[in-house]
Every structure is written in structure tokens, then in C-alpha cells.
Amino acid sequence: MPRMIVRPKELDLTSPGRRDYYVALEHDSIWGDHLIPLTVWVGPAAQPGKGLVCSGSNHGNEYEGPVVLKNLAREIRLDNVLGRIIFIPVLNVAAFKAGTRESTLDDGVNLNRAFVDGAGKIPSLSGITHRIARFVREYIWPNVHVVIDLHSGGMVARFAPCASFHPIDDPEQGKAIEETARWFGTPLIITYQNQTPGLLPSEAESLGKITIGTELGWGNAIHPRGVQFGRHGVLAAAIHHFQLRGSIEPFGHHADGTQRRVEMVDRACFTVAPFAGHYEPIVECGTKVAKGQTIGLLHDFDHIDMDPWEAKAGMEGIVIAQAFGAVIMQGQHIAVTGKIVW
């Protein structure tokens, strides 16, 4: 089926059938457009305001999500769709083409900090990244109740694979989110602090949507296990929230009982580099550690005879993430330890 190039207002997210689009948002640097790939399926049981959206490449150098959605777009058959499913394999095309976390070649903005007041509407917030946020707000949010934002560590950090969400005040919403997250099969389910402004998941959660994030890989690579976790979680969410026919069995750490839920909601979780240097991890992500246990060593090669600084766990728990690259800036989070909930 040919992919139609349309402006946002020309999108049809309600009529029965499958449609493949490029959503065109004006390009600031060339006489042309940024083209965001979007596929929508609408089945016979679709309801207003109900549906599932899944996006990849919120950050442009995180690749498991785009691969998961590109593959599933070839796999899902319209006959099996009950409700509304929307896939956006590459949400931030500006960053994706640059191969960077932010939209480096354009406005330099991090899309996962762009969901702020006035995004895409006022002159100071009118670059492509804020206009993507506006597009999501105006055209996607009104049509879905389940939101999955597939992330990986890029060049920032190496993670133990996880599905994630913020602490939720509404018990019913929180229960639905946690259960949806478990079906990704990842070794960890993480709740994390919700103080950072402009996050896509924070806005979706605040609107009452069942919202899941992930960390499925690292290092600007495509990790096979991360792709497997992502695929299974997206399909399970579509089935369990009645947007797709079928049944699905538990997978991975969800199936074998080794899945753990951890929290990283206070400052003690974060081990911060006191000086610039080179980081040597000495335990793997996913390792259970005691409070004060040495996780890694920060070396100062300008002072070659100085003992390395010991990066210690700020609490008893599980190492969620560590710096991926060896070169560390002062103030960088070089290790994150999560408190075990269950």
C-alpha cells in the first residue's frame, strides 16, 4: 500500500481500515518537510478516545523501538484488529536522521523535554521538536488511552532492560500500568522520579492514559533481546486492552518469576561523578548490591598515581544503569541503584 504524505489535519484515525502515512511538518532549513511515518489500523469495535499508540525514536539514537514497530507493521493483519492501533516508528525524524539524542541538525531540542506549555505555538518554542509535541497533543492523545514510548540508553547509559513508569496517584490507573508493563518480560519494572519537566510519558500519565516507557538497549546498537521484549510488550498491550484479537503467553522474566520491580525516586539512587575521568564498571547492570558497595571505579589519568574514586551504591537494591561510555563529565550520573519493591 502506498504511503500517503499528509498534513496533520488530513490524518484519518477513525475510518475503518489500514492507512500508512507520512505526516508532513514544515522543515525549517530546507524548502520541504519532515516526514513522520505513521500507520493506523481501525477495526470494527473502535471507540472514540480509545486506542493504543506506540512510538519509537523519541530520541534519535535509540533503535530497538523503530525496529519493533517496523516489523510489527508487516505482521499485524487488519482482520485481527478490533479497535485502534497507531504506530509511529520514528517520532523524532530530525534527531533520527542526525543519529543523536536531540534534534542536533535542527533546533537542538530533546523531544522528551519538549512537552511544555506553549510547545509549537509561541515563537520561542516553534522549532520542529516542539511542533512534534504539539502534533502528538492535538492529533494523537484524543484518539488513544494506551501510550507506549519505546526507549533505549543510546550513548547515555547502559541499562538492565526494563519497562518503566512514574508513581501514579490513581490506584486503578497505577494497577493497569504496572500489569501492562510486566508483560514486556523485562528483568526489571521501574518506577522513577517525575520531577523532570516536559516528558512525553508524564503528560500521557497526567491525562489518565495507561502509559509505559522502556529501556531496551544501549550504545546506538540494536540488541536482539531488547527487540524481543519490545515486540512482546506491544502485542500484549494491544491484546489485553482489546485493540487486537488473540491470546499471548507470559514471556521472559515475567514467565519464569524472576522479574523484579524497583524504584529510583530519590537522590540516593544516583551516584554522581565528583570529577571528570574514565569510568570502569566492576559489576553488571541488574546485579543486586548492598548500600555502600563499590559498583565501579572512576580514574583520573591526569593524576596517574592517584587511587581511583570508588563509585558506591547509595542504597541496597539493584543496579539499574551505568554510564555506557568510559569518558565521564563532572556531575554525570555514572551509576543508578534502585530500591527493590518486590
Domain ranges of the chain: 4-264, 267-340
Per-residue confidence of the chain (342 residues) as pLDDT tens digits? 689 999 999 999 999 999 999 999 999 888 999 999 999 999 999 999 999 999 999 999 999 999 999 999 999 999 999 999 999 999 999 999 999 999 999 999 999 999 999 999 999 999 999 999 999 999 999 999 999 999 999 999 999 999 999 999 999 999 999 999 999 999 999 999 888 899 999 999 999 999 999 999 999 999 999 999 999 999 999 999 999 999 999 999 999 999 999 999 889 999 999 999 999 999 999 999 999 999 999 999 999 999 999 999 999 999 999 999 999 999 999 999 999 999
Q: What is the SS3 assignment for 318? A: strand
Report the first-to-last Cα separation within the chain, whole angstroms: 46
Architecture of domain 4-264: 3-Layer(aba) Sandwich (3.40)
Residue 282: alpha-carbon gap to chain centroid: 27
Tell me if residue 97 falls in helix, strand or coil.
helix
Nearest to 157 by CA among 287, 337, 336: 336
DSSP letter, residue 116: S
Quote the strand ranges of 268-332, DSSP E: 270-272, 277-281, 288-289, 294-299, 309-312, 317-323, 327-328
CATH T-level assignment (fold) for domain 267-340: OB fold (Dihydrolipoamide Acetyltransferase, E2P) (2.40.50)
Nearest to 18 by CA among 46, 39, 47: 39
- 189-219: b (≥16 Cβ within 10 Å) or e: bbbbebeeebbbbbbbbeeebbbbbbbbbbb
